[in-house]
Amino acid sequence: MVSRINKLLNTNVDSIENTTTVDFSKMSSTLNFPLLAKASKSGIDLKAWIDENNDEFKHKLKTNGAILFRGFAINTVQKFQNLVTLFAEKPLEYKMRSSPRYAVGNNVYHTTTYPNEYSINMHSESSYDPDHPNHIVFCCIQPAEERGETPIADNRLVLSGLTEATREKFLQKGIQYVRNLTSSLGLPWREVFQTQDKTEVEAICKEKGITCTWQNDDKLTLTWNKKAIWKHPYSNDDVWFNHGFFFNKYALDEDFLSLIDSDDDLPNNTSYGDGTEISKEEIEEIKEAYAKATFEFPWETGDVLFLDNMLMSHGRNPYKGDRNIIVSIF
């Protein structure tokens, strides 16, 4: 597996190819992602280009993992909404929520409304959900005045950056997720499931194989297991695809963690699938693996970033000033 991963670092794609309308190149001098796709002339319709070159687009996305389209003037919600209908007449709704977002279109959302002075840790979108999305696409309507990048990491490289012992533990045991949904910390169950109906919540959980326990009218505990390491359906590469790091208590901000009296009060937490603790040292190891596999770039107005959700993780850097990045999943 590791030798296969190493090829990702050594492949020469400095100038991958030129088409009549779109030029592809490599953005990083050391990593094989993301691809930068730039219009070779003004007025190129990105939706039409992808539609006409769909096989090429899909192959690049499913092997490279990330494509940044720049210079196509996708600079309004309406233009982005029109673009994403190419991939699904109805993009996926953001259900089983883990962070606050508000809709700006038909299943198009503003990215997480988390305080701008904080980072958002690396994760693959909704990888905790038994019904996870396969793709996520971002659009920059307005970049921040300072910082505000969306770091991206190759999940194949993250996996190869872990020790063999850690990889084997996650491969054999998987991950157990526990979420305590309450209005006092994190998200309340009504926002997570987008309903006021407890019966509907229970039906969703049953369908997804999630154990739900009502502690009281305000607090709902969810417990379920899921694999930590997956085979990518297109490339057959092994990928680190989970929220084991993002949801773990040791990845929380220390100021926030100091407010928690016991693990039973944590809004989210993860352990190995057999219930044993993922140690603080192992969480630090995962954090370091993400850091070594991460690339950042400054947003420009109109940028569109496509990610294969199983191949790539993303996060958010702190920022100053107004920032408007919108997102859709499919």
Q: Which CATH architecture has domain 2-156+295-329?
A: 4-Layer Sandwich (3.60)
Asked if the domains 2-156+295-329 and 161-290 are classified in one and the same CATH topology, the answer is yes
Domain ranges of the chain: 2-156+295-329, 161-290
Give the CATH number of domain 161-290; options: 3.40.50.300, 1.20.140.150, 3.40.50.1820, 3.60.130.10. Answer: 3.60.130.10
Tens-of-pLDDT digits for all 330 residues of the chain? 544 544 454 444 444 444 458 999 999 999 999 999 999 888 899 999 999 999 999 999 999 999 999 999 999 999 999 999 998 665 566 678 887 787 898 889 999 788 999 999 999 999 999 999 999 999 999 999 999 999 999 999 999 999 999 999 999 999 999 999 999 888 999 999 999 999 999 999 999 999 999 999 999 999 999 999 999 999 999 999 999 999 999 999 888 888 898 999 999 999 999 999 999 999 999 999 999 999 999 999 999 999 999 999 999 999 999 999 999 999
Query: Could you write out the three-class secondary structure of the chain?
Result: CHHHHHHHHHCCCCCCEECCCEEEEECCCCCCCCEEEEECCCCCCHHHHHHHCHHHHHHHHHHHCEEEEECCCCCCHHHHHHHHCCCCCCCCCCCCCCCCCCEEECCEEECCCCCCCCCEEEECCCCCCCCCCCEEEEEEEECCCEECCCCEEEHHHHHHCCCHHHHHHHHHHCEEEEEEECCCCCCCHHHHHCCCCHHHHHHHHHHHCCEEEECCCCCEEEEEEECCEEECCCCCCEEECCCCCCCCHHHCCHHHHCCCCCHHHCCEEEEECCCCECCHHHHHHHHHHHHHCEECCCCCCCCEEEEECCCEEEEECCEECCCEEEEEEC
Q: For the whole prediction, is pTM greater than 0.85? A: yes
